Amino acid sequence: MRFSRTTFVLVSLLATAPVVAEEHHVPAPPSGTKVISALLEGNRRFLAGHAKHPHTERRYVRETGIHGQHPQAVVLTCADSRVSPEILFDQGIGDLFTIRVAGNVANEDEAASVEYAAEHLDVPVCVVLGHTGCGAVTAVVRGEKLPHSFDHLLTPIQATVRDLRRAQPKLRGDALTGMAVRANVWHAVADLLRENGALRDRARTGRLAIVGAVYDTSTGTVQWLGHHPGEEGLLAKAPRDQK
């Protein structure tokens, strides 16, 4: 096949032409109410077997790689292999800023990660997601002997279980573990609001909703707990890092 001189000139010009960046419009972050509704609807699709698996095509890898991430929610959840937020909420690449740690505790590192998502990515919702049968909570309830390196991780859970036993001394066994999972979620929410000034300020001004939920690993259902029952009081207190 023979090419004319004109063809070679055109090919050369195209090869040396500067690459024009693709225009990308960054949408304004949705409201917290819309985000929560979307997560609940995603879980309903997952349960019904009608998951859409949005934003999972390869082009979303390229898009988020070039234009950055714009997640709609941050999810602080357990490292348990059965808990996969993107799957159970039917979300995709770039939709969730996920933080995973055994027992879904909110120690300093986890709180700093939530703060990054809120301050730098303008995420309007943080979901603290516990789950049934949590191994870390169960170990504390049963008083199992664990390596010393676990101490820092388990301290918030131990406080949760201790307070729960004082409040409801008749609770035993699985009933106690189930209540402890829920109480541990509230403990993490309270720690985020009480210990981190930036998160507290955003929550107080309505820019960030920090809510709780529990995932049932045997049914796939997410039980929505909503805002901490003592949120008003938590927001009224000065965080320890500002004292």
pLDDT in tens, 124-146: 999 999 999 999 999 999 999 88
Distance CA 216, CA 135 (A): 14
- Residue 216 included in any domain: yes
- Residue 200 included in any domain: yes
Q: Which of these, 97, 106, 104, lies nearest to 75 by C-alpha position?
A: 97
3-class SS of residue 35: helix
- Residue 177 included in any domain: yes
Say if residues 128 and 100 touch (Cβ distance below 8 Å): no
- Residue 172 included in any domain: yes
CATH number (domain holding residue 77): 3.40.1050.10
Centroid of chain to Cα 71: 10
Mean of per-residue pLDDT scores for the chain: 88
- Residue 7 included in any domain: no
- Residue 104 included in any domain: yes
pLDDT value of residue 47 = 98
Average pLDDT of span 224-243: 81
pLDDT at residue 8 above 50?
A: no
Question: How many domains, in total, are found in the chain?
Answer: 1
pTM, 2 dp: 0.85
pLDDT value of residue 64 = 86
pLDDT at residue 1 above 90?
A: no
Percent with pLDDT over 70 in the chain: 86
Range of the domain at 194: 34-242
Looking at the DSSP bridge assignments, the partners of residue 76 are: 99, 128
- Residue 23 included in any domain: no
- Residue 238 included in any domain: yes
